[in-house]
Amino acid sequence: VVVIREKVAELYESEQQWLRAAQMLSGIDLDSGIRMLDDTNKLSKCVQIARLYLEDDDDVVNAEAFINKASFLVTNSNREILNLQYKVCYARILDLKRKFLEAAL
């Protein structure tokens, strides 16, 4: 089921249907016992989902929910690109919430 959701999300993303892609990936239980993901993969999925929600007319509420999940995982990550993607999404959320000073930090 997870692989199917990921492939359908890729298809939606290629068609620039950001909301549908985000919703498809949001349906994946990242903490299920069936397919245990390590923290880096969980972080990657959370950031990807947040980015997709932000692409869809800046859906701040849903994007923020996934960035908040990612915030617990980013401290243990040593993947610079992924950490940067997290920071970009977080800054964009703060910017959309008109918290400009926090976004600048």
Is-contact 9 21, C-beta < 8 A?
Answer: yes
Q: What is the pTM of this model?
A: 0.89
Q: What is the pLDDT of residues 26-85, one digit of tens each?
A: 999 887 755 677 889 999 999 999 999 999 877 899 999 999 999 999 998 999 999 999
* Residue 78: DSSP 8-state: -
What are the structural domains of the chain? 1-104 (1.25.40.10)
d(C-alpha 67, C-alpha 70), whole Å: 5
Query: Which of 6-10, 14-18, 53-57, 83-87 is the least confident region?
Result: 53-57
Closest CA relative to residue 41, chosen from 9, 8, 77: 77
Q: What is the pLDDT of residues 90-105, one digit of tens each?
A: 999 999 999 988 888 7
**pLDDT for residue 102:** 87
